[in-house]
Amino acid sequence: MNNNNYAIIMAGGIGSRFWPLSNSERPKQFIDILGTGKTLIQQTSDRLKKVCPIENIIVLTSKDYFNLVHEQLPDLPKENILCEPFRRNTAPCIAYATYKIFLRCKNANIIVSPSDHIILDIETFTQSLKDGIDFVSNNDNILTLGIIPSRPETGYGYIQRNSMHKGFSNIRDVKTFTEKPNLKLAETFLKSGDFLWNSGIFLWNVKTIIDAFKKHLPTLTSLFEDGLGYINTHKESEFIENIYAETHSISIDYGVLEKAENVCVLCADFGWSDLGTWKSYHELKEKDNYNNVINVIDHELADTTNCIINVPKNKTVIVEGLDNYIIAEHNDTLLICSRDKEERIKYLAENIKTKKKALN
């Protein structure tokens, strides 16, 4: 295993989409949502350990989740858990981890991965990472992993691939990025064969990404470079808090990838899902004969189809006459919502949280 290989795991999400199972106290990356025996961040770490030593894995998270990360990844050195003082999207957190890595290894090859995605074909995924690392270690390119689409999905971003890059059969130059299209456009993308889902997993050499930060996000870059001497000292936390107070919230996609001219995409198919919605949960789980996903043994369903029922396993559940609903319970909180309106869940959850605060 190459000691120049590093990985950044982004684990700062606050868990609004899978409420009430996931919430701000214990977001979905720290939950075994699919019942595999491991939480999503544990699965992510296990996948990355196939190409990176554990001491080269960096986790970016909120200071509120430091103990959860340490509890779930006990082999990870504590100094590899970087705590963000505020939520500032992906560009600042990647910059923070990048400069930490740069001070350790001036020629590091870096994988950036969300902490809460599902990968079903681990062998193919591992090979994709190895191919990607080999590419970025020898080429001054930013590399994304693009997933061959199976349907006109409106919940994912898309990457339009261009011509083959320098003779690499599975790596293409990137032509355009498109954020979550409407259904008609997604159908056009699928038919064209030129578009891939954007997995949000990136690879690059540390020098390549620092050059990209300097070119496309110079203000953010100067904030970090002016205080590199504070990193890995007792003044690091104060330094990072000052930087985050000064910088704006911006994604790595918008801040760098969509502006850079040296972006490539590795075309892959390894059973990927961002597990970002109850819809994706339903797609991944086993269904009964009526397309229901049920996690409890003691249940009785009548005239009930296309539903998700996720409640504590010691519960008895009886449902009659529902189609296309989510029924979820956790910590004495019950959700009943049409699957067609699940995008409203996080707003309704925020409303009830506000009401509770007002009563207290």
CATH number at residue 30: 3.90.550.10
With contact defined as beta carbons under 8 Å apart, do 5 and 133 qualify?
A: yes
**What gap in Å lies between CA 218 and CA 275, rounded to an integer?**
33
- According to DSSP, the β-strands at 317-320 and 5-10 are unpaired
Residues 79, 172: one domain?
Answer: yes
pLDDT band at 221 (very low <50, low <70, confident <90, very high): very high
310 token code pair: 């996720």
Count CA atoms closer than 13 A to 199's CA, side-chain side: 29
Please count the structural domains in the chain.
2
Residues 312, 213: one domain?
Answer: no
The amino acid sitting at 110 is I
Q: In the chain, which residue ranges form alpha helices assigned H by DSSP?
A: 40-48, 66-72, 90-104, 122-138, 183-192, 206-216, 218-225, 236-246, 252, 278-284, 345-359
Three-class SS state of 209: helix
Residues 215, 291: one domain?
Answer: no
**What gap in Å lies between CA 195 and CA 146, rounded to an integer?**
9
Q: Look at residue 162 in the predicted model and tell me its pLDDT.
A: 87
Residues 166, 285: one domain?
Answer: no
Last residue of a domain, one of 276, 310, 336: 276
Q: What is the mean pLDDT of residues 223-242?
A: 94
Residues 142, 291: one domain?
Answer: no
**What gap in Å lies between CA 2 and CA 12, rounded to an integer?**
28
Domain span holding position 27: 5-276
Contacts (Cβ under 8 Å, ≥6 apart) of 109:
2, 4, 5, 6, 133, 136, 137, 203, 204, 205, 206
Q: What's the pTM value of the predicted model, to 2 decimals? A: 0.93
- According to DSSP, the β-strands at 195-205 and 109-114 are antiparallel
With contact defined as beta carbons under 8 Å apart, do 325 and 309 qualify?
A: no
Express as a percent the part of the chain with pLDDT over 70.
98
Last residue of a domain, one of 246, 276, 306: 276
- In sequence order, what are the beta bridge partners of 204? 110
Q: Look at residue 165 in the predicted model and tell me its pLDDT.
A: 67
Residues 288, 243: one domain?
Answer: no
Residues 38, 156: one domain?
Answer: yes
Angle in degrees, CA 254, 256, 257, rounded to 5: 80
Residues 283, 271: one domain?
Answer: no
With contact defined as beta carbons under 8 Å apart, do 151 and 197 qualify?
A: no
Residues 194, 323: one domain?
Answer: no
Q: Is 15's pLDDT higher than 80?
A: no
Q: Is 357's pLDDT higher than 90?
A: no
Mean residue pLDDT of the chain comes to 93
**What gap in Å lies between CA 273 and CA 279, rounded to an integer?**
11
Lowest mean pLDDT among 89-98, 110-119, 275-284, 350-359: 350-359
Last residue of a domain, one of 229, 244, 276: 276
Residues 49, 174: one domain?
Answer: yes
151-186: string of b/e by CB count within 10 Å (b at 16+)? ebbeebbbbbbeeebeeeeebbbbeebbeebeeeeb
Residues 173, 242: one domain?
Answer: yes
Q: What is the mean pLDDT of residues 35-46?
A: 96
Express as a percent the part of the chain with pLDDT over 90.
83
Residues 254, 334: one domain?
Answer: no
